[in-house]
Every structure is written in structure tokens, then in C-alpha cells.
Amino acid sequence: MSGSLAIRMRGVVKRYGAITAVDGLDLDVPIGTCVGLLGPNGAGKSTTMRLLTAQSIADEGELEVLSFRLPGESKAARAQCGVVPQLDNLDVTLTVQQNLLVFTHLYRIGRAERKDAIERALRMANLVERRDTRVDKLSGGMRRRLLIARALVHRPRLVLLDEPTVGLDPQVRQEIWALIDALRSEGSTILMSTHYIEEAQRLADTVIIMSHGRSVATGPPAELVMEHAGREALEVFGPPARLAEVEADAGAAGLRTRRTGTSISILGVDSNGYPIEGERRPANLEDVFVLLTGEEIA
Amino acid sequence: MAVTTAAPRRLGRLERPALTGVLVREVVNFSSFWRSSTFSSTVEPTIYLLAFGFGFGSLVSKIGGYDYVQFVGTGTVATAVLFSSAFPAMFGTFVKYKFQRTYDAILAAPVDTEELVTAEALWIATRAGVYGCVPMLVAIAFGLDPAWGMLTVPLVAWIAGFGWACFGIMVAGFASSFENFNYVVSAVLTPLFLVAGTFFPLSRLPEWAQVLGEINPLHQCVELVRHAAFGFDGWTDLARVGALVAFGLVLWRIAIYAMERKLVD
């Protein structure tokens, strides 16, 4: 049935009053892969994450996590999942080690294995030297690493990462990416929500682009780019009036365009020599993202 | 990874490992703030005891056959229980839910709301059971005679503390902001605190206030502690214990309901 899937969602709907946050979502996370849930703010990514831990209960549809059916069997599923929340919820007056100790209990690690589990988590997050430091004395990057390590103390079969690098400095983001990449290479199964395109492109085996509560495209990042944006894009710079003209011409020629702030990108110009001067560049996931989720920010 | 084929598909309710997990978190956290918490939970009722005991005590020497200091000394046990259960439960729950988002972290682990609320209430009840004894110990230092019955006081304080902890969690569950607590403190806790028979016997109050007093769980606690020190009153006291247990059980279920509404959407 779903033996090779860590997560299986079919036709999942979640409404909050008049708002439909998740609107008929189908989602598969095969075991041993890292799936990135990419979408703009308000696309329903965080609600999807909450559904997977039964902190939100779906109005319609089927959800299975590690072949446990939700919400009824959610507790058994949660015992084998590690969750890294978007917002830091560490106990700030406790030390690094105390935070991990609490979670070895919450995740039911036996007395004999607790010490090893804590040591392993400390090493993984590179916080061995900081074990006795109170959390409120840690840097932002260290807190993030601890938040991830805390989710891994019990060697979960599935890791849920909700916007793992939101609001972090570029340097710290690299650190977190390295940590997630290490997890991937160990063969962990990961579902990661993000609105950073680069993050999805670098870390995810499969990207699911979400918009308005549903999945609008699924595939490996490179294939998504080929399929939706082609190989190359032509980026034309100029004053606004000129850009509008270029946009109209391209539209008339049956090509898709997207605004790129100060320029306009014409997509799918791979083979035909398009008669306009501009910079040719490889098409990227951002092109796909904007094409599929719309240019307007809700 | 361990072989998990034998894992049960649906885990039980109120599992011990889940309760332990939440309790361990509280105990470890307590180690970082026990000083301030112990200070506020014990000093405040002691001040009431001393202020009323010696202030009023100079005007009224005896009430219902007891020295006034002894009357108040036993009565303020209930005050200490209230201050160390209802208030921390209200504020602590709200802070952990709203500002620290602790409950998000706990509910992502194999812990359900029912277990979370139960463990939190058990922990607060235990603290109340200990802190509740402080005014009595102070009263002993000021001349209250020790009695064997006093050994039941921690248990009485624990049962009452559990009920008030659930009350506080329930209030936090229904509250949408900190400001809501003002209504509860002014309209519920302060009147109940005053008509509990702590500082003056209910028999002097108008009849409606006496009836109100009789259904006040704080009053049951006051009476039980007083009788623990001066002699139990058989079936009546047993009924009071029953009333406190019922209070605890009902509020426990309502607290779970309120928090489920809040935490799971």
C-alpha cells in the first residue's frame, strides 16, 4: 500500500472559517528522500506541517505518516518523527544539555541509552563545548542547531523541518544547510518547508511547489526547471516603458515572461534566436516558482 | 534504527512515559527558578498570617474557641495553596502556550493534550502540597501545637492544589489575552479567597454568603486543615474531601477540553 512512503496525503483539506489553508493537497514523501515544500507565505506550508503532527486536524482527506493513519494513530507516528519548528521554543533558562535531556524523556529513550543519545546530538550539532551554556547565552545559529539536534535525539525515521533557516544570517544559513545535508547523506527522510528557492534547490531531491493550499508542480528541481521554464531565459533590462513593450512582444510571440524587478525575463528562448538584445542565462527554479505561484504577492 | 513492526498502532491514553516526560521538563526547569517561586509562594501567605494574626489578633483574641493566630495560621494554608496553584497555572500555562511556545514542542512529541494538562496539574499540585504546609509551620513556630492530624495537611493541600491548578489551566485555556485574567482574579478568586473562612468564620456572614462559602473549594480546604490541627469532624470532613476530589476531577476535564480547543485546531 504505502510501505515505501514516509508521508502520504490524499485530497487533504483544512479550513479555518472562511479560509481554506490546505485545499485538496496530495503529497508523497518516499523513504530516504528529502522533499522540499516550496511556496510563498500563506501557501499552506505551515498548516501542512501542523497536520502531520495532528496539531491541526484535517477536515477532509487521508493522511498517513510512517504508515500510521492520522489523526487516530498520530501519537505512535510522532514517537518516530523529529520536528524542528519554525519558531524557536527551547527552554531558554536551561542549558544545552538540559534541553536535550528533557527531550530524551519526552521521546521515551530508555535510561541506559539517554547519555549516548545526548552525546550524539551534541556532536551532530557541534555543541559539545557548549553543553553547559544556558540557551539564552547562545548565538542565533547555535540555538538553531540545538533546535535541530533536539529533534534528532531519538533517531527519528522522519524529520519535519518547518522553514529551518527563516530569519538567519547568510553565514548561519550555510551552517544549517551543512547540517541538513549531513542528515540527507545518512539517508534520513526529510520533509522541509521553505520559501527560499535556493534552499529547496540545494537540499531537496524532490520539490513540491505549493500555491493556495495545493500542490501545483512536483519533481526534482532540475526537471521542474526544464519542464516549466526551459533551458534558458533571456533577461532584458531597460526603462519601464521599454520593458512593457518587450513583455507585449514576447506575449504575442507565445513566450512566457516574468518580471525580475529591474528587468524582464523571457522564458523558453532556448532554440529560436529571439530578436531582442539581452542577457542569456540558465533558467532557474525561481522562474518556475514565479510562473506557477503568480507574480502578485498576496 | 530499531525494528518497529511490533510497535502498537494506537498508543493508550494517559501513558506514564508521556506524563513523565512533561514532569521531567517541569522539574528540570524548576531547578532554574525554584528560589523565586518558593519565595513568592511562601512569603506571601506568611505575611498574611503575621499581618492578620497579630493585627487582628490584638483586637480579637479568640474565634470559635481558637487563638486568633492559630485560626489564621491554619486558614492561610489554603491561601498558600491557592497562590501556589491557581496563579502559576494561569500565568505559566499562558506563557508556555503563547510566548515560549513550549506546548508546540511537547505536542510534537508523543504526548497528547490530555497528558500534557494532567502532568502540568500533577506537578503544580505537588508544589502546592509542599508550599501549603509553610504557613502551618510558621504558626507552629508562633505557638500552634503540633498534632498527628497535621500529617494529612500535605495531602489535603495536594488535592486542593490539583483542583486549583486545573482551574488556572482552564482559565488560561479560555483566555485570549493576559488582560482576561483580571476578570477572573477580581470576580472569582478574590471573593472566594475572602469568603473561605480564612480570616473570619463564615457563621458571621449573611446567609447567602454562607451558602456561597459552603460551595467554595477553598473553604473545604480551610476547614480540613483546621480540623487536621484541632480534631477531625468525622463524616463531614470526609464529605469535604469528597467535594475537593470532585472539584479536582471536574476542573481537570474542563481544563483538558479548554486546552484541546486552544492547542489543536
* Mean pLDDT across A219-226: 93
Residue A56 clears pLDDT 80, i.e. is over it: yes
B14/A contact by beta carbon, under 8 A: no
- Chain B residue numbers with beta carbons less than 8 Å from the beta carbon of A92 are 100
Which of B28, B96, B98 to substitute to test the interface with A, most A CBs within 10 Å?
B28
CA angle A109, A115, A119 (to 5 degrees): 110
Highest mean pLDDT among A162-166, A232-236, B152-156: B152-156
Q: How would residue B3 be classed by pLDDT, with cut points 50, 70 and 90?
A: very low
User: What pTM was estimated for this model as a whole?
Assistant: 0.92
- DSSP letter (8 states) at residue B64: T
Distance CA A289, CA A196 (A): 10
Any CB–CB contact under 8 A between A73 and chain B? yes
What pLDDT was estimated at residue B147? Answer: 94
> Is pLDDT of A3 > 70?
no
Q: CB distance from A93 to chain B under 8 Å?
A: yes
Residue A199 grid coordinates: 534552499
SS3 per-residue string spanning chain A: CCCCEEEEEEEEEEEECCEEEEEEEEEEEECCCEEEEECCCCCCHHHHHHHHCCCCCCCEEEEEECCEECCCCHHHHHCCEEEECCCCCCCCCCEHHHHHHHHHHHCCCCHHHHHHHHHHHHHHCCCHHHCCCEHHHCCHHHHHHHHHHHHHCCCCCEEEEECCCCCCCHHHHHHHHHHHHHHHHCCCEEEEEECCHHHHHHHCCEEEEEECCEEEEEECHHHHHHHHHCCEEEEEECCHHHHHHHHHHHHHCCCCEEECCCEEEEECCCCCCCCCCCEEEECCHHHHHHHHHCCCCC
pLDDT digits (tens, 9 = 90+) for B79-97: 999 999 999 999 999 999 9
B148-185: per-residue pLDDT in tens? 999 999 999 999 999 999 999 999 999 999 899 999 99
Q: Which pLDDT score is estimated for B1?
A: 42
User: pLDDT at residue A76 above 90?
Assistant: yes
Enumerate the residues of chain B whose CB falls inside 8 A of the CB of residue A72.
10
pLDDT, greater one: A229 or A29: A29
How many of the other CB atoms lie within 10 Å of CB of B38?
A: 16
A107 and B110 in contact by Cβ < 8 A? Answer: yes
Residue B178, pLDDT score? 87
Give pLDDT, residue B213: 87
pLDDT value at B229 more than 70: yes
pLDDT at residue A52 in the model: 97
Q: Which residue of B has its CA nearest to A49?
A: B108
Half-sphere exposure of B247 (CA within 13 A, CB side): 25
Partners of A161 on chain B (C-beta within 8 Å) are none
pLDDT band at A219 (very low <50, low <70, confident <90, very high): very high
Residues 6+ apart with CB under 8 A from B188: none
Contact B25 A91 (CB under 8 A): yes
| pLDDT grade for B7, boundaries at 50, 70 and 90 | low
Distance CA B127, CA A276 (A): 77
Q: B32 to each of A1, A6, A93, A217, how far by Cα in Å?
A: 49, 39, 7, 49
What is the model's pLDDT at position A149?
95
Cβ contact (<8 Å) for A102 and B21?
yes
By C-alpha distance, the chain A residue nearest B103 is A89
- State the pLDDT at residue A156: 95
State which of A142-146, B6-10, B197-201 shows the largest mean pLDDT. A142-146
User: What is the average pLDDT across A64-80?
Assistant: 96
Lowest pLDDT segment from A118-127, B11-20, B51-60, B78-87: B51-60
Distance CA B236, CA A198 (A): 72
Least confidently predicted of B28-32, B66-70, B148-152? B66-70
Cell of B123: 506537578
Confidence at residue B6, expressed as pLDDT on a 0 to 100 scale: 56
Instruction: Quote the percentage of chain B above a pLDDT of 70.
Output: 97
Note the pLDDT of residue A57: 97
pLDDT at A1: 44
Amino acid at A13: V
Kindly state whether A56 is in contact with chain B, defined as any CB-CB distance less than 8 angstroms: yes
Query: Closest Cα to residue A229, out of A196, A279, A270, A278?
Result: A270
* B32, B99, B102, B261, best to mutate vs chain A, most A CBs in 10 Å: B32
H-type alpha helices, chain B: 16-55, 68-94, 102-108, 113-131, 133-141, 153-174, 180-184, 190-194, 207-214, 217-230, 234-263
Report the mean per-residue pLDDT for chain A. Answer: 91
- Mean pLDDT across A59-67: 96
Q: Is the pLDDT of residue B46 over 70?
A: yes
Residue A271 confidence (pLDDT): 63
Is A16 within 8 Å of B101 when comparing Cβ atoms?
no
Instruction: Specify the pLDDT at position B60.
Output: 82
d(CA B181, CA B163): 18
* Residue A19 in contact with partner chain B when CB distance is under 8 A: no
pLDDT band at residue A255 using 50, 70 and 90 as cut-offs: confident
B4 in reach of chain A (CB within 8 A)? yes
> What are the phi and psi torsion angles at B43 (to 5°)?
-70, -40
What is the rounded average pLDDT of the residues B222-240? 93
Per-residue pLDDT at B41: 74
Residues A90, A147 contacting (CB under 8 angstroms)? yes
Compute the residue count for chain A: 298
- Judge whether B17 is closer than 8 Å to chain A, CB to CB: yes
Q: Mutation target for A interface from B4, B5, B33, B103: give the one with most A CBs within 10 A.
A: B4
Find, in chain B, the residue whose alpha carbon is nearest to that of A157: B1
**Predicted confidence band of residue A296 (pLDDT cuts 50, 70, 90):** low
Share of chain A above pLDDT 70, in %: 96
- Residue B86: all three cell numbers together: 491557581
Partner residue opposite B107 with nearest CB, options A53, A73, A91 = A53
Q: Indicate the range of B142-156, B204-218, B241-255 predicted with least confidence.
A: B204-218
Diameter of chain A measured on Cα atoms: 71
pLDDT at A187: 87
Which residues of A fall within a CB distance of 8 Å from B111?
Answer: 75, 106
> Strands across the sheet with A81-84, in order?
A81-84, A158-162, A189-194, A34-38, A206-211, A214-219
B1 at the A interface (CB within 8 A)?
A: yes
Is the pLDDT score of B259 beyond 60?
A: yes
Res A295: pLDDT: 58
Residues B96-147 pLDDT 10s: 999 999 999 999 999 999 999 999 999 999 999 999 999 999 889 888 899 9
Q: Is B245 left (phi over 0), alpha (psi -120 to 50) or beta?
A: alpha
Q: How many residues does chain B have?
A: 265
Question: Is B62 strand, coil or helix?
Answer: strand
Q: Mean pLDDT across the stretch A5-19?
A: 96
Burial A180-212 (b: 16+ CB within 10 A, else e): beebbeeebbbbbbbbbbebbbebbbbbbbbbb
Q: Which residues of A touch B109 (CB under 8 A)?
A: 78-79, 83, 103, 106-107
The shortest CB-CB distance from B10 to any of A57, A72, A102 is to: A72
Grid coordinates in use for B31? 531547578
